[in-house]
């Protein structure tokens, strides 16, 4: 190793002993002083290299310009931005209700969200065929539990229930089986959603269920006893009316 005066080399264990010897030996000391002087002289020449005027400003201005353009700099970034846009568009389309009603806190949006929820990988929080267990579970979780299931629907096998939410209001999801063959990942194919009427500024009519296609589902919606009901399944109007 070559010693550099005026640096941390002075405390480097590899140098400490040699420096001590150099201090005690006059001839070695002279050589050492000459080494340090030569080093300082050459070092000074290196440190005299001056960066051109304006280099710092040029670096900073290029940074600002490139930062503004950075999103469009490489094909990878362009592809990433394009993918992000597609994902956002997809998300908007996915959650958009099928009706003409504007996005917001209204019944059409609620109905669309509930259908979207079961089209995705929904999760039942309780799997049981026991209706009393289902009510108890929903009540325990502060979800609507004093609902009335239409008599025809009640004849379908109950599979379980799930807990959803809408505008911070709990939504009960009852899951039934129609008897049709299910996909391997499916556990149910008829869904009844129940939410408090106060959660909606425009609840559906009380007496006549409103039939509406939402994505690949058909829905029937009505209001009764302070509760809003949405029944959803794959099929047509005749099928869903058969459950009412």
Token pair for residue 33? 């002083």
Q: Of 69 and 238, which has the nearer Cβ to other proteins? A: 69
51 lies in the binding site for other proteins (CB under 8 A): yes
Beta carbons of 101 and 214 less than 8 angstroms apart: no
49 lies in the binding site for other proteins (CB under 8 A): yes
Instruction: Using alpha carbons, select from 144, 141, 197 the residue that is nearest to residue 171.
Output: 144
**Residues near 177 by Cβ (< 8 Å), separated by ≥ 6?**
156, 157, 159, 187, 188, 189, 190
Candidate list 10, 59, 80, 83; residue touching other proteins; CB under 8 A: 59
DSSP E strand stretches across the chain: 126-127, 158-166, 169-176, 190-196, 210-214, 217-224, 227-234
28 lies in the binding site for other proteins (CB under 8 A): no
Task: Report strand pairing: 158-166 vs 126-127.
Answer: antiparallel
2 lies in the binding site for other proteins (CB under 8 A): yes
- To other proteins, the closest distance from the beta carbon of 24 in angstroms equals 21
Choices 36-44, 120-128, 150-158, 171-179 (CB under 8 A): range interacting with other proteins: 36-44
- To other proteins, the closest distance from the beta carbon of 74 in angstroms equals 10
Binding site for other proteins (CB under 8 A): 1-2, 4, 6-8, 34-35, 37-43, 45-49, 51-52, 55-56, 58-60, 62-63, 66-67, 70
């Amino acid at each position: 190793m070559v010693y550099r005066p005026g640096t941390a080399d002075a405390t480097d264990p590899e140098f400490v002993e040699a420096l001590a010897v150099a201090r005690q030996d006059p001839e070695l000391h002279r050589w050492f002083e000459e080494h340090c002087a030569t080093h300082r002289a050459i070092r000074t020449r290196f440190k005299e290299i001056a960066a051109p005027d304006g280099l710092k400003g040029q670096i900073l201005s290029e940074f600002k310009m490139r930062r503004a353009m950075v999103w469009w700099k490489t094909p990878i970034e362009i592809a990433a931005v394009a993918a992000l846009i597609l994902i956002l568009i997809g998300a908007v389309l996915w959650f958009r209700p099928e009706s003409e009603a504007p996005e917001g806190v209204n019944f059409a949006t609620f109905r669309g969200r509930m259908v979207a929820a079961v089209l995705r990988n929904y999760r039942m929080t309780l799997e049981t065929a026991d209706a009393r267990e289902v009510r108890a579970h929903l009540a325990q979780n502060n979800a609507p539990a004093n609902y009335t299931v239409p008599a025809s629907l009640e004849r379908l096998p109950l599979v379980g229930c799930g807990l959803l939410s809408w505008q911070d209001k709990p939504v009960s999801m009852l899951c039934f089986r129609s008897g049709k063959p299910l996909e391997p990942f499916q556990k149910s194919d008829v869904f009844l959603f129940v939410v408090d009427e106060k959660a909606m500024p425009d609840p559906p009519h009380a007496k006549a269920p409103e039939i509406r296609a939402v994505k690949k589902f058909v829905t029937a919606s009505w209001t009764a006893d302070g509760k809003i009901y949405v029944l959803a399944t794959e099929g047509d109007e005749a099928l869903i009316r058969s459950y009412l």
